[in-house]
Chain A
């Protein structure tokens, strides 16, 4: 009797196991191709870049290993150090600016006002325009005889007497800040969309309950809306930071491959381009690429720590 009971169980288990195995094979089959591509284009390429960074690498390949020499050189290279400083300074200013502007615009267009859809589209337009086209336009706007200086003249400011004679993009003291202004404007539309998506998921009952409890609009914003926007804060600041540290196209268009004048527009990615395609030092360029990865990874981890802490928790 017991064997009669055990037999169907064993068969059933074996069939179940076979089915599981089959399912597993099918599952692996489905993910095999994307996994292989992911491993090749992300993991293998990254490991290969690390390998190249330890070589004296020319156009046709390695001319010999140099160990960590490329890394040691980077820390004594004044242009690289300036590129790091520029990239971090740019990120430190542009990320809060674009985040604040994006949040402000999202709150504006989220309000139930007439023409909200029109303003939403208008604010988003700069984000979908080609960065090359918009930078070229910006160069004209900021030229000594451009629209910006004419506007200043209308306000009674004598542009010629300014410390940079109105040459905003060709003066090393104002070039980076001008690009910061440009990018804060062009990227704020995208940030607005992220905030808007999060704002529209906030349950109205939270705000309603707070209102009934006598909270002012300011209190509702700071103690209800802001904490509930935590996922958007994390996404906007992290993606903004990653994008900011990788500044390239606006820098090369406004300052050329040398990030001129005085390397004021030299960024880490522009320097990688410069080292690779002008100086043919691919090993050194790879080392800087790896250092850039470490910086981005480190900053992202710090951000995760901050946003993951209970101090920012919406449940508090």
Chain B
């Protein structure tokens, strides 16, 4: 007994494994997204009982992350938006994941290459995409029926014809913001593009044609911005039945289901109208580690799981985002989004140092040009191209 009593205190530390508290910083999200993330984290913790994930939700994620980087206390893992990845990488604050990927033989091949691209700088990889979200066309069947439209337009010509019918019925055809992250999708379907690397392609004939088409639609009223419809964003205008179509990603579905179930039940989805070819823009975000993060090994274990087929399967099964891996099934009800995500004509938004300047320049000028109902489309296109081109890195 005495020997046993002596053994117990000696044996106890061997059983009590040290728990690593892993800080995870994310941006705020919908209840559906929160539920999906909590579930994915729970499945990770079951497999890794020595890691306790503590989530920190940032209201202004990028600004709060920058403050934490500056004080050299970044969280262990965090969401990294593709739009800022190159800017942040250039600051030397992100951890290159290559050595972790090689050491654990983690395969990056199943990832759609275009979703990895925003996080690559040379041979370094600063994040693994947690999901993808391409723009698709959403239609309100009830409003479409009022104008005698049975199916979603698949080409820009079909869209123009549908818009005429809807306008006759005094229904706004499409609610879309004058934003390069929306209208840019048409640059590709008209054969143009936004940028090649960090060089402007705003002068490309395809880009010019797409802009001319989009601005003509703003002039005729076929396109209206959320502000023109007194809505905070296009999804809200669509949910309120203020427009027949909109072009958003998978994030629209849970929002409509919760806030506008009536419209959600009549919503149909399809690919964005094609011009010369199909085309869409996709958004992605990655899990990343800071150079000054404390628990890097535990952080890598977390990333490895969350971006594996199993972890991504749990996260995307809720339908808030589409898998960025080709070996994870698209959730039910999101088949259209899944097809767009895998399409070769779908491209991620450009990512280079100074991209936010380009977005700001385009959006400011486009909104200015369309505010006057009698604007000259040719002059407006020229002005938007000129101002946006000037904002590209010199």
Contact = CB atoms under 8 A, between A and B. Distances in A.
Interface in B336-394: 354, 356-357, 360, 363-365, 367-368, 371-373
Interface string A69-89: 000000000000000000000
A170 B372 contact: no
A172 B371 contact: yes
Interface in A183-229: none
B91 A262 contact: no
B63 interface: yes
A144 interface: yes
Contacts of B360: 257-258, 260, 274
A215 B360 CA distance: 60
A170 B228 contact: yes
Contacts of B365: 262
Contacts of A260: 360, 363-364, 367
Given A59-B70, A60-B92, A172-B371, A262 B228 contact: no
B25 to A, nearest CB: 15
Interface size class of A (residues with CB under 8 A): 20 to 34
A163 B66 CA distance: 41
A143 B371 contact: no
Contacts of A310: none
A140 to B, nearest CB: 8
Contact of B230 (A143, A173, A263): A143
A162 to B, nearest CB: 10
A167 B364 contact: no
Contact of A167 (B63, B70, B227, B363): B227
A136 to B, nearest CB: 10
Nearest to B360: A258
Contact of B93 (A59, A165, A173): A59
A186 to B, nearest CB: 22
B283 to A, nearest CB: 17
Interface in B211-236: 225, 227-230
Given A260-B367, A262-B367, 4 more contacts: A145-B230, A146-B230, A173-B371, A262-B368
B290 to A, nearest CB: 11
Nearest to A170: B227
A263 B364 contact: yes
Contacts of A261: 363-364, 367-368, 371
B346 to A, nearest CB: 26
A125 interface: no
A312 interface: no
Contacts of B373: 165
Classify the secondary structure of B's interface with A: helix
Interface of A: 58-60, 143-146, 163-165, 167, 169-173, 257-263, 274, 276-280
A58 B69 CA distance: 11
A258 B225 CA distance: 17
Interface of B: 62-63, 66, 69-70, 72, 87-88, 91-93, 225, 227-230, 354, 356-357, 360, 363-365, 367-368, 371-373
Contact of B62 (A60, A164, A278): A278
B376 to A, nearest CB: 16
Central interface residue in A164, A169, A278, A280, by most chain B CB within 10 Å = A280
B69 A60 contact: yes
A179 to B, nearest CB: 15
B91 A58 contact: yes
Nearest to B367: A261
Contacts of A172: 367-368, 371
A262 B371 CA distance: 10
A260 B365 CA distance: 9
17 contacts: A59-B66, A143-B230, A144-B228, A144-B230, A146-B230, A167-B371, A170-B227, A170-B228, A171-B371, A172-B371, A257-B360, A258-B363, A260-B367, A262-B365, A262-B368, A280-B87, A280-B88
Given A143-B230, A144-B228, A278-B356, A258 B70 contact: no
Which 6 A-B pairs have CB atoms at the shortest separation, nearest pair first?
A261-B367, A262-B368, A170-B227, A143-B230, A258-B360, A277-B63
Given A262-B367, A278-B62, A170 B70 contact: no
Contacts of B93: 59-60
B91 A170 contact: no
A120 to B, nearest CB: 35
A277 B62 CA distance: 7
B91 A60 contact: yes
Nearest to B83: A278
A278 B356 CA distance: 7
Nearest to A274: B360
B229 A279 contact: no
